Amino acid sequence: MTGEPRVSIVIPVYNSRKTIEKCIESLLLLDHDSLEIIIVDDGSTDGTPELCDRYSEVRLIRLSRGGPSRARNIGITAARGEFVAFTDGDCLVDARWLKELEVPFADPRIAGTGGDQKSPDDETETGRIVQEFLKSIGFITGYIKTDAQLRETEHNPSCNSMYRKQVLLDVGGFDESLWPGEDVELDLKIVRKGHKLMYNPSAVVFHYRPSTYRGFCRMMLRYGASQWPLVMKYGLFRKLHYIPPLLIVCFLGFLAALCREAAAAFLVIVFPALFFAWFLWKTESVSKSLTFTGLILGTILCWNWGFFSGWINKKAAQPEQRAGVTE
C-alpha cells in the first residue's frame, strides 16, 4: 500500500495475551488494500505489547492505564484514514469485514456502520452458549442483532464498527469517563446530530465470550452499572432502560401476592415457565431452553443489581469516577 490509508483500524487492548495474536493474524488476512492497524495498549502487564511488537504491520501505541475510551480516542487522533474501524483484542475478523463495513458509506448521509458477531471455531462450550443466548435476546439489548438484511440502526457495539473520522471528531469521540456503555453514548451523540448508522450482517467478527457463567454474571453486573450514568444524562432512551421500573412494579405485585401464598407460588412458577416456553419456541431444544432460562433469570438479577447499585452508590452514579476501569 502507498499513500494514506483509506481505513484505520483501532484496537484498544489490556492484558489480551491469550487472543491478541489471533486477532492480529485475522487482520492481516483482510481483503483490503488501503488500511493501517493501530493497537493502543492500555498499560497491559501480561506481555501483550511485546506480542504486538512482533508484527511490523502494526502501529503500537503504549499508554498507562486510562480506560478503553481514552485508548480509542488516542487511536482516533493517530489514525490517518478517512474512516476509523474498531474491534477488540478478543475478536477475530472475517476476511471481508472491512469491505462489508464500507458498503453503506456509498451514501454520504451515513456516519457509521457495524456488523454481526459470531463464535470463533475454538470458542469454549460456555462461550458458545453465551453467544447464542445473547443472540436470542438481541431484540431487547440491541447488542447482537438477528436481522439478515442491511438496515438502519441506533447502535453498533464498538467491537464491530466503523465511522467517518470527521464525525468522530465532531462529536468529541468517546466519553472517557464511561466503561462499558461508551459506545452506546457515542452512537447516541451521532444520531442526535442528525446522522445515520447502518447495520450490515455480512460484516462479521468472531467474538470470544466469558468462558464461565461467573464471568458472564460479572459482565452483566458491569453492563447494568454502566447504564445508570447514561440514564442520568439522557433519560430512558433504550428498550432495556424500561426493565428496572417494570421490575419494581413486578416486585411490588409479588409482595402484594405474598398476602396470598398460592398466588405468590403461582408467580414464582409462571415467570420461569414463560421464559422456558419462549426459548423452547426459539431453539426447539429442551436442554438449551433450560440453560437459557437460567441465563435470563441470572441476567435480569445481575443487570438490575448493577443498575440499582449505580443509583444507590454515588461513586457509580458519578461517571467521572469510573475512568480507568478496564477488563
Write down all domains in the chain, each with its CATH number in brackets.
7-128+135-208 (3.90.550.10), 217-322 (no CATH)
Q: What is the pLDDT of residue 66?
A: 87
- Rounded Cα distance between 21 and 26, Å, is 9
| HEC assignment per residue over the chain | CCCCCCEEEEEEECCCCCCHHHHHHHHHCCCCCCEEEEEEEECCCCCHHHHHCCCCCEEEEEECCCCHHHHHHHHHHHCCCCEEEECCCCEEECCCHHHHHHHHHHCCCEEEEEEEEECCCCCCHHHHHHHHHHHHCHHHHCCCCCCCCCEEECCCCCCCEEEEHHHHHHCCCCCCCCCCCHHHHHHHHHHHCCCEEEEEEEEEEEECCCCCHHHHHHHHHHHHHHHHHHHHHHCCCCHHHHHHHHHHHHHHHHHHHCCCHHHHHHHHHHHHHHHHHHHHHHHCCHHHHHHHHHHHHHHHHHHHHHHHHHHHCHHHHCHHHHCCCCC
Q: Which residues pair with 282 in a beta bridge?
A: none
CA distance linking residue 156 with residue 256, whole number of Å: 40
Q: Residue 46: what pLDDT?
A: 94
pTM of the model: 0.79
Calpha distance 300→315 (Å, rounded): 23
Predicted local distance difference test score (pLDDT) of residue 228: 74
For residue 235, report the phi and psi dihedrals to the nearest 5 degrees: 85, -170
Q: What Rg, from alpha-carbon coordinates, does the chain have? A: 21
Q: Is 21 exposed, middle or buried (CB count within 10 Å of its CB: 0-12, 13-18, 19+)?
A: middle
Query: Of 156, 148, 143, 158, nearest to 240 (Cα)?
Result: 143
Please report the pLDDT score of residue 3 as a whole number: 74
C-alpha cell of 146?
A: 438477528
123-128 — which CB contacts under 8 Å span 24+ positions? 123/206, 123/208, 123/209, 124/209, 124/211, 126/209, 126/210, 126/211, 126/212, 126/213, 126/216, 127/208, 127/209, 127/210, 127/211, 128/209
Which three cell numbers, joined as nine digits, stand for 143? 447488542
* Residues whose CB is less than 8 angstroms from the CB of residue 292 and which lie 6 or more positions away in sequence, other chains included: 133, 136, 275, 279, 283
For residues 226 and 319, give the distance between their C-alpha atoms in angstroms, rounded to a whole number.
9
Using 70 as the pLDDT threshold, list the residues of the chain that sit under it: 1-2, 138-148, 235-268, 310-327
- Residue 277: predicted pLDDT: 79
**End-to-end CA gap in the chain:** 34
Instruction: Please list the residues that pair with 153 across neighbouring strands.
Output: 197
